[in-house]
């Protein structure tokens, strides 16, 4: 997800890789989770992060023909950066299927007349606010503030408002290059398949 100017796509695929510091710096004990599902795998960075913590992880990814809305299993954790236009549907589909749901969303997702009643029925247990705006493209920070919204049925995730530590200089440099490369690869793959 990334902030966009009205009616202008910032890249050819609507794929926005999540800078790794955004989840690496979350103050969460990942060893608490047994299994996970990543609904928007993209280039697999969140799935690999979870697997590096010995969490058995499955995924959905439309580009691979795996539609999250057709996934009906259950899991311990769902962690993802969903498409903003479908965020509410992603949350609705996730909550009955996972003990803990963690989604990266714009902070202004909280403010909406159309979601007023929905929010009253689906209040998150915690918000982990990104202290620095992320760069999903690797070419500058986004124009919107973000937070990890967390719903938890187990008490493993501390309730309340928390603040995610900003990236170190090394993390910021690594993620800039990683996001630029991921976007270039995604655009190349899309352009190649378009002309087949």
Q: Taking the mean position of all CA atoms in its chain, how far away is CA 80? A: 3
Average pLDDT over residues 93-108: 97
Average pLDDT over residues 22-29: 96
Range name among 89-98, 120-129, 142-151 with the lowest pLDDT average:
142-151
- Report the candidate in 80, 74, 72, 71 with the shortest Cα–Cα distance to residue 50: 80
- Give Cβ neighbours of residue 33 (< 8 Å, ≥ 6 apart): 50, 53, 55, 76, 77, 100, 156
Average pLDDT over residues 175-193: 75
Range name among 43-47, 101-105, 149-153, 192-196 with the lowest pLDDT average:
192-196
Is the pLDDT reported for residue 4 higher than 60?
Answer: no
Range name among 2-16, 35-49, 52-66, 86-100 with the lowest pLDDT average:
2-16
Give the pLDDT score at 40.
Answer: 94
Average pLDDT over residues 112-134: 94
Residue 52 burial (CB count, 10 A):
10
Q: Taking the mean position of all CA atoms in its chain, how far away is CA 95? A: 15
Is the pLDDT reported for residue 63 higher than 60?
Answer: yes
Please give the order of strands across the beta sheet that includes 35-38. Answer: 56-59, 35-38, 75-80, 98-106, 146-152, 126-130, 160-164
- Flag whether the pTM goes above 0.75: yes
Give the whole-angstrom CA distance, residue 91 versus residue 143: 23
């Amino acid at each position: 997800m990334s902030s966009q100017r009205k009616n202008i796509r910032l890249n050819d695929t609507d794929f926005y890789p999540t800078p790794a510091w955004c989840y690496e710096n979350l103050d969460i004990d990942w060893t608490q989770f047994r299994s996970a599902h990543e609904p928007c795998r993209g280039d697999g960075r969140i799935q690999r992060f979870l697997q590096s913590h010995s969490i058995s992880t499955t995924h959905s990814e439309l580009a691979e023909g795996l539609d999250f809305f057709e996934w009906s299993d259950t899991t311990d954790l769902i962690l993802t950066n969903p498409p903003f236009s479908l965020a509410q549907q992603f949350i609705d589909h996730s909550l009955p299927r996972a003990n803990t749901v963690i989604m990266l969303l714009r902070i202004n997702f909280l403010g909406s007349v159309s979601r007023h009643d929905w929010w009253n029925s689906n209040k998150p247990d915690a918000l982990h606010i990104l202290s620095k705006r992320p760069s999903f493209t690797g070419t500058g920070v986004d124009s919107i503030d973000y937070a990890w919204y967390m719903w938890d049925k187990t008490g493993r995730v501390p309730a309340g408002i928390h603040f995610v530590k900003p990236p170190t200089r090394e993390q910021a440099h690594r993620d800039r290059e990683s996001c630029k490369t991921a976007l270039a690869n995604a655009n190349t793959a899309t352009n190649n398949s378009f002309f087949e």
